[in-house]
A and B are shown apart, each in its own frame.
Chain A
């Protein structure tokens, strides 16, 4: 069927072999691709007995049927694994060019298993698959590695890890196309544990849509809406994702100084407006994207690169009480080069600052202290000094110093740039996140702040569970097609369904896709349950539940999680302990998971 290549490439690094298997098209229809295909493959390959950093863990790269089609934002790909940071399902997706290029090699998925004896790279081209020695690249940064392996914008694309991944840092990212990131949950450490430095792709096969007329119509209609939306046609191109910095700060939901406050008095200095006014060189787009939200910036010391995104500017900014945009930007560049998740890195530094402030950790580290940032990032990537503690992520670090409650994380994944006390629905998103506290799994920024699709009361709780569930399912399916979520700011599932129909030649409705989303979400939940996660893990840091916001527009608020969680389980057809009922699994064609439970 058009859209899918119909092939999965599996590489065993222990034995240095590879094999090509057909993609089960029934699985493709049920899970589409990307994140959905990733969790479905992982379910069979990685059981609860597998340690995340062992050779038995699988690192699964997937594309979707939309990837490489030329539909707006059809550049993305996904990685799935078991997370060394959280122990949960790990999924992360990234833009740029690599995903489109991997699709061109003729595969839908690449499964990497085993562990090489010495550092290697994988090269996949029209000539075949090669595993090559990478001794000379081990220890080098992402930028040098990407250049050394011949990154060539639309023709040859490099994905690699930096020193953080090599040193099994639990918050290490995988980077592609130099500065795009598969960041959350530590995928870089999984890749490092396999002694795999990089994957280079160079393909020549095009993803040609089955119904050209419908595809051209959808291109036109989608383009029209992307142009009409002020978010996708003005806000993101002009100011990047940090356009929301001032907005979130104004409503009192910008976590500040390790979530001790929810407003940062220096927010303007790290905002999208400030970035545009002071350090922006130009904006840039991923492949086939008309939005162009990427910032190319240059600091006073002439360092140039991509970023900072909103989350990164927040992580090294408000979270650490720092307003020095130049240093924040260089911290972002350095994380990209070392291969580190900027959100977890900044959040963990903020946690260390509070541990120090409270006298629990001995370090010369204060909130607002920008001059330590770069050293801390270097030390984390190389596991040196205090960086060795940070390399474990904020939860393990705070636990070691006797105060796990100061880790602002859920399931050990650091919370991103929204204080849920000022956005109740976002609190439920974080608490129930399958990969931990994550804004990409159903962000409530749309309905609770940006009025997308309509503005709802951000402090209300009744009815929130349904909206959260719909957004989670929608995000799961968008991550599986794969589209960029920013396209979803202008067009919704009815567009994605028609584009998928055009590409594959099979008819899909918006609610066919939503059911796929629910199926993916539920299987991820089952994966976590199989790993031993329970209702007790669907929670938030105690600060969010019991420490009222001290001042500002969210003053006095905590997250009223219990009633939302009860409503959430009921909405999803799960029992009171958050376990999907067998009727629900049958409805979602997840019978194979029931059989596994019975075993």
Chain B
């Protein structure tokens, strides 16, 4: 039962440089950010980057309110789950229908272990930003070289 439409036609209607995509696919793979659940690939589209102490996952979720998104972290897997509201078609004829509807569940493998207790998320104008502090063990550590 596939209710989500965009998954079948990735990035439909959105202008994009194909090279960027190939490059990010390559980078994604090389960074070990493999998709865990292949069926949900495509929505929501995400950008992932990291700083010394945090990993950031940003997702485009237009039309969703904070109560429509469920975020969970297990180990180094982040899951974004929710439902895009459908347009109530009170006797409407669609001339164009590009916006996806229905349920989604995307699971992403993060590059490092994170502290699931301290994960924060905020949603602004259809953009979700999840801040995931790295687990102590995953933080970079400066090793002092002892002088002789």
Whether chains A and B associate is no
> Which residues of B line the A interface, CB within 8 A?
none
